[in-house]
Amino acid sequence: METLLTGLRAAAEPTRLRLLHLLAQGELTVTEITQILGQSQPRVSRHLKLMCEAGLLDRFPEGAWVFYRLAAKGRGGAVARRLLDLLPEGDQTLTLDQQRLSAIRAVRVDKAQAYFSDNASRWDEIRSLQVDEAEVEKALAAVFAGRRVHDLVDMGTGTGRVLEVLAPHVERAVGIDLSREMLSIARTNLERLCLSNCMVRQGDIAQLPLPAASADAVTIHQVLHYATDPGALVAEAARVLEPGGTLAIVDFAPHGEESLRDQHAHRRLGFEDAEVEGWLRTAGLEPAPVFRLPGKPLTVVVWTAQKPYPHITSTGATR
Ligand SMILES: C[S@@+](CC[C@H](N)C(=O)[O-])C[C@H]1O[C@@H](n2cnc3c(N)ncnc32)[C@H](O)[C@@H]1O
């Protein structure tokens, strides 16, 4: 009873309802929130603090930034989700907040894409500075070795390196990326290596231009740390996977290299296993073995997961 009352009290204010509405849609920093709400930072921080204390929101500092989002667990999170259902549709203030959120997201995407475009030709060089790529590629290939993959999807394929590495293990592979510059490099690489079973397509990995259950392998290699909503990308990977299919995510373990944000547009400084496993489970996937490749200073992690087969009930129905 006390948790409910605390949650209700903490939400019973117009700005705080607006915060619930915004933070239900993804993670935001205080700076982004102040831009959307048009309120001072101390004021916004006061609201956020109170809502975190009431368990409605989660706060997670990461280097110099602090992200906020709707509480993933606990009674506070449940109260927040119930309240969200009661927010009036078509409310003018919430609609305006939504438009500002979309504008902020568009700027983020433009910034990241501008970076990728500027760096397309240098990308292979940049990634090799961070960790021994040969070891990572060996670990990734080992996930798919020993079985025949018929359709592989590489999300955020960039210069197509993952396609090159996995081409011997797959019948067909498609790499999806938004950046034309990256894709043109990938096409050149694939042609040079005569990898006729691989192709690239321009598309948004948040909405893959592919039908559901059309792949038995999906890879997301060094892409999640740029994403505004990494969990949504994992869910999209799960959508295109067929039952029995495998997802492999390659990214960094938590680190403190703030320069990757300033100089390389990284949004997240690595991921905890628990966070990735949370996204996998939410997407209906079963977490499978995790492989770690310690480096200096960055440790690369390969998280794997399987899409389970539907459960067939005694009446023959699937669930
Ligand atoms: C760091 S690069 C990694 C490329 C490749 N996976 C690799 O490891 O070599 C990230 C790639 O994700 C792509 N990307 C980022 N957001 C995207 C989106 N929403 N849709 C498609 N591609 C995206 C970028 O264009 C870029 O090529």
The predicted-structure confidence for 271-294, as pLDDT tens digits, reads as follows 999 999 999 999 999 999 999 999
- Ligand 1 centroid distance, CA of 107 (Å): 17
Mean pLDDT: which of 91-100, 107-116, 288-297 is highest?
91-100
- State the fold for domain 123-306: Rossmann fold (3.40.50)
pLDDT at 115 over 70: no
The pair of three-digit structure tokens given for residue 44, joined into one six-digit string: 């916004």
Domain spans of the chain, in order of start = 2-87, 123-306
The pair of three-digit structure tokens given for residue 15, joined into one six-digit string: 């700005």
CATH (one of 3.40.50.620, 3.90.1300.10, 1.10.10.10, 3.90.25.10) for 2-87 = 1.10.10.10
Question: Three-state secondary structure along 130-194?
Answer: HCCHHHHHHHHHHHHCCCCEEEEEEECCCCCHHHHHHHHHEEEEEEEECCHHHHHHHHHHHHHCC
Confidence of residue 315 (pLDDT cuts 50, 70, 90): confident
pLDDT at 124: 56
- Ligand 1 centroid distance, CA of 159 (Å): 9
The pair of three-digit structure tokens given for residue 30, joined into one six-digit string: 């205080």
Pocket of ligand 1 (CB under 6 A): 116, 127, 156-159, 161-162, 176-179, 182, 204-206, 221-223, 226
Least confident of 23-27, 74-78, 205-209, 233-237: 23-27
* Residue ID of nearest Cα to ligand 1 atom 15: 156
Confidence of residue 107 (pLDDT cuts 50, 70, 90): confident
Ligand 1, closest atom to CA 124?
9
Segment 127-132 mean pLDDT: 65
The predicted-structure confidence for 231-256, as pLDDT tens digits, reads as follows 999 999 999 999 999 999 999 999 98
pLDDT at 261 over 90: no
The predicted-structure confidence for 42-65, as pLDDT tens digits, reads as follows 999 999 999 999 999 999 877 778
2-87 and 123-306 share one CATH topology? no
- Ligand 1 centroid distance, CA of 222 (Å): 8
* Residue ID of nearest Cα to ligand 1 atom 26: 158
Is residue 124 within 8 Å of residue 162, measured between CB atoms? no
For residue 118, the number of C-alpha atoms closer than 13 Å in the C-beta half-sphere is 9
pLDDT at 126: 53
Is residue 240 within 8 Å of residue 234, measured between CB atoms? no
User: Which pairing describes strands 28-29 and 57-62: parallel, antiparallel, or unpaired?
Assistant: unpaired
- Ligand 1 centroid distance, CA of 158 (Å): 5
The predicted-structure confidence for 150-163, as pLDDT tens digits, reads as follows 999 999 999 899 99
Segment 114-129 mean pLDDT: 62
pLDDT at 123 over 70: no
The predicted-structure confidence for 164-188, as pLDDT tens digits, reads as follows 999 999 999 999 999 878 887 888 8
pLDDT at 125 over 50: no
- Ligand 1 centroid distance, CA of 270 (Å): 16
